Homo-oligomer: A and B are copies of this chain.
């Protein structure tokens, strides 16, 4: 039984008010895979890189016990590259460069050893590739989580709607929920989106936390108020990876476990933004994670006797 993550594995060049990086390893599958690995020991990734991806870049996955058999390395080609610059408020950014490279004709290969997949995280990619991935798994996983973004709503809405029919959980941000549903109220938006396929909808609100919708139930998760957000890159992917990793660990899918999974995902994401790229989430200890979870509990708990 394994947890498969498909998504980009990439080089990023990031500039924030706190500094800038050269090309560092990034990508949705990287962040999500690392985050999931803290909770579950059979994480496997599917992705594609060029031969500019060094063996030490791949070593990071191996150090976390992540299976990379599904990570294709294209000789003579270059890895996907993204460069971006965050504004002072850290809530908006400019994309300075997007070089698709190997991603342009990415055809995901699911190794036979991945066919034991029970938890599937479809990281942000074209809906078409996300759909293909589901179909290439012989058995439908127990839980399929899809992450996407406004870009795919702009250019591939039909594909996205088709793919949504096949998943259990959708994670998007509040603006994307409004775009996907055409509703401003998130309650109304959720109601519509839950009729598109997913049984669970997670609306990520960045510094304002996240909302989980399922049938008529709603859970509001806090975000940890941070003095400084150093680099928001990968926070959403890290959230998704921590979320599904925790669910794979507990093994039972229900609303209460989903709530806790959101707290764990949020905790991992709160580490992610403390340093550039994957720097912080590469080296977490169990004690650090437990301490952060305790902060979330203290942050939001109250007792009202009625």
Residues of A within 8 A of B (CB): 88-89, 184-188, 191, 205, 207-209, 211, 217-223, 225-229, 256, 259-260, 263, 290, 293-294, 297-304, 306
- Known contacts A220-B300, A306-B293; A187/B226 CB under 8 A: yes
Cα A63 to Cα B88 with chains together (Å): 51
Q: Are A256 and B293 in contact (CB under 8 A)?
A: no
User: Whole-angstrom distance from the CB of A290 to the nearest CB of chain B?
Assistant: 6
With A205-B208, A211-B225 in contact, do A219 and B184 touch (Cβ < 8 Å)? Answer: no
Give the 8 A-B CB pairs with smallest separation, nearest first.
A220-B222, A208-B208, A187-B227, A259-B302, A187-B225, A220-B299, A220-B300, A260-B304
* Bound form: Cα–Cα A222–B222 in Å: 7
Question: CA–CA, A290 to B208, complex, Å?
Answer: 26
Q: Are B293 and A297 in contact (CB under 8 A)?
A: no
For residue A263, which residues in chain B have a CB less than 8 angstroms away from its CB? 302, 304
Known: A260-B304, A293-B304. A185 touches B218 (CB 8 A): no
Contacts of A227 in B (CB 8 A): 185, 187-188, 191
Tell me, rounded to whole Å, the shortest Cβ–Cβ distance linking A172 to chain B.
15
Q: Report 30 cross-chain contacts, Cβ distance below 8 Å, ordered by A residue.
A: A88-B184, A185-B226, A185-B228, A185-B229, A187-B226, A191-B227, A208-B208, A208-B209, A209-B209, A209-B220, A209-B222, A217-B298, A218-B225, A219-B300, A220-B222, A220-B225, A220-B299, A221-B302, A222-B222, A256-B302, A256-B303, A260-B302, A260-B303, A260-B304, A263-B304, A293-B304, A293-B306, A294-B306, A300-B300, A301-B301
